[in-house]
Structure 1
Amino acid sequence: MSTTDEQGTRSCVSCGISVAGTNAARFKCPDCGTVIYRCAKCRKQSNLYECPDCGFLGP
């Protein structure tokens, strides 16, 4: 599973907004390699995120 929904829309793993066309970060989970997307606002505020596959928690 990744942070892409069934319509192919990429969403922020922290807040759930669509990150299409934004300055979002895309990276792999340090534990399992699942692709994770985070919006610029959540990155700037250092909001926590949780990997949807393995439950890894990150800042």
Structure 2
Amino acid sequence: MSQSQQQERQCVSCGINIAGMSAARFKCPDCGQVIFRCAKCRKQSNLYECPDCGFMGP
């Protein structure tokens, strides 16, 4: 597994491995990069930053 594939399976907010968890998968509003967030970070409305373009969202 490449490093980019491994990063895709991590919450972009807290960095935990989200494999097998209830997680959100969505595209960055600016560049379209696929972003993953764990349920805990979504519930707490933790900020996230797109690893490709730097877009920040709640």
- After TM superposition, the score normalised by the length of structure 1 is 0.87
Residue type at the aligned position of 1:25: A
Tell me how far 1:12 sits from its aligned partner.
0.1
Q: Distance in 2 between matches of 1:26 and 1:7?
A: 15
Structure 1 residues 3-42: aligned runs within 5 Å: 6=3, 8-9=5-6, 10-42=9-41
Structure 2 residues not aligned, in runs of 5+: none
- After TM superposition, the score normalised by the length of structure 2 is 0.89
Runs of 4+ in structure 1 over 4 Å off: none
Greater helix content? 2
Q: CA RMSD in A?
A: 1.4
